[in-house]
Amino acid sequence: MKVLITGGAGFIGSTVASACDEAGITPVILDSLVTGQRKFGRGRHFYEGDIADGTVLDKIFGEHPDITAVVHCAALIVVPDSVLDPVRYYEANVAKSLELVQHLLRNGCSRLLFSSTGSFYQPGVDGSVNEDSAIAPESPYARTKAVCEGMFADIAAGTPLRVVSLRYFNPIGADPQLRTGLQTRYPTHALGKLIEAHETGEPFQVTGTDYATRDGSGIRDYIHVWDLASAHVTALTAFDQIVGHATSLAINLGTGTGTTVRELVAAFNSVVEEPVTTVDAPRRPGDVIGAFSRSDRAKQLLDWEPRYTVADGIADSLRWSAVRDSVLAD
């Protein structure tokens, strides 16, 4: 089996490519390198180009007519940038995805596995969500994902396209073999701030301690990137059975319980020698309880559950952080 991975030189796409390799699926990478690393495409079928460029797509399918599905990871993903430059985000994530789908259909490729997000849900009182929860994107970035899902569903209803949207929550960790990982130095979520606090010795601020969670701190759904990648392999292998008679569907990839900020700190301190201290602080403007997936659709349809713990994810993030500069410089 051979699959095209757009954005396959990025954090998640490159990890999916490694998981595919290990499962005997041949990945073909298309990446413009707008943020991705050429290094992550090395040793693979790699095409430098844009997902909207029909000539490149025709060339890829001409040279690899046995590609049976596409994993569509390519996107711009920085939430604050999307607020500052929404036009660029809608162009990159929505308009170019529309062009990509046209190129795929023209080349007879109708299976699309889409990298979507759990960040566009409106969380319930306790922060839990399932695939039917209300969608209320809080940033142009998150809305581009919601718009894409709707656009793909409409197209799938009237064409041979079939779409499975995998809604990721908060990916952490790195390829356990440290072949790839985050390009940026720190994750943007609380784990990044924890790593920073660990490096500087400053206390970590628990902002908001009066939420309706187990311990009052906010909640997120940290998921090891290798677990995410494994879910892609399963979804690719069983794509037609998963879609069944539907034309498109969405699946949350989360833990089922989430991790509070205090639990994240405890997990962090379980893997480092010098523990990070914390200080309680009030909620900051705009802070929200967060969200975690309570859905078991991934278990039912993909027979998938996370295998890695949050502590594993933190340990792999730290291991990647230690080798990141040398791997990327190599």
Task: Identify which of residues 267 and 269 has a Cβ nearer to ligand NAD in the complex.
Answer: 267
* Packing angle, helices 225-237 and 11-22, rounded to 10: 60
Q: How many residues bind ligand NAD (CB under 6 A)?
A: 28
Active site residue 168: no
Is residue 92 a contact point for ligand NAD (CB under 6 A)? yes
Is residue 281 a contact point for ligand NAD (CB under 6 A)? no
Rg (C-alpha) for the chain, rounded Å, is 19
Task: Identify which of residues 5 and 242 has a Cβ nearer to ligand NAD in the complex.
Answer: 5
Contacts of 201 (CB under 8 A, 6+ apart): none
Q: How far is the CB of 83 from ligand NAD (least distance, A)?
A: 15
Exposed, middle or buried: residue 168 (CB in 10 Å: 0-12, 13-18, 19+)?
Answer: buried
Is residue 115 a contact point for ligand NAD (CB under 6 A)? yes
Please report where in the chains the tokens 């960040």 appear, as a residue.
119
The structure tokens listed for 263 are 């639990």
Q: How far is the CB of 210 from ligand NAD (least distance, A)?
A: 26
N- to C-terminal Cα distance for the chain? 30
Among the candidate windows 6-14, 229-237, 257-265, 310-318, which touches ligand NAD by CB under 6 A? 6-14
Per-position x/- string for 45-74, each x denoting binding to ligand NAD as judged by CB under 6 A, each - no binding: -----xx---------------------xx
Q: Residues 47, 89, 141, 168: which is the catalytic one?
A: 141
Contacts of 121 (CB under 8 A, 6+ apart): 129, 133, 134, 135, 136, 291
Is residue 32 a contact point for ligand NAD (CB under 6 A)? yes
Q: How far is the CB of 45 from ligand NAD (least distance, A)?
A: 15
Task: Quickly count: other Cβ atoms within 10 Å of residue 162's Cβ.
Answer: 21
219-238 positions binding ligand NAD, by CB under 6 A: none
Is residue 267 a contact point for ligand NAD (CB under 6 A)? no
Is residue 10 a contact point for ligand NAD (CB under 6 A)? yes
Task: Identify which of residues 168 and 304 has a Cβ nearer to ligand NAD in the complex.
Answer: 168
Contact 250, 150 (CB under 8 A): no
Written as one string, the DSSP assignment of 270-308 is HH-SSPPPEEEEPPPTT---B-EE---HHHHHH-----S
Q: How far is the CB of 326 from ligand NAD (least distance, A)?
A: 19
Please report where in the chains the tokens 């656009």 appear, as a residue.
151
**Residues found near ligand NAD in the complex (CB under 6 A):** 6-7, 9-13, 30-36, 50-51, 73-77, 92, 96, 115, 117, 168, 171, 183
Q: Which residues are catalytic?
A: 141
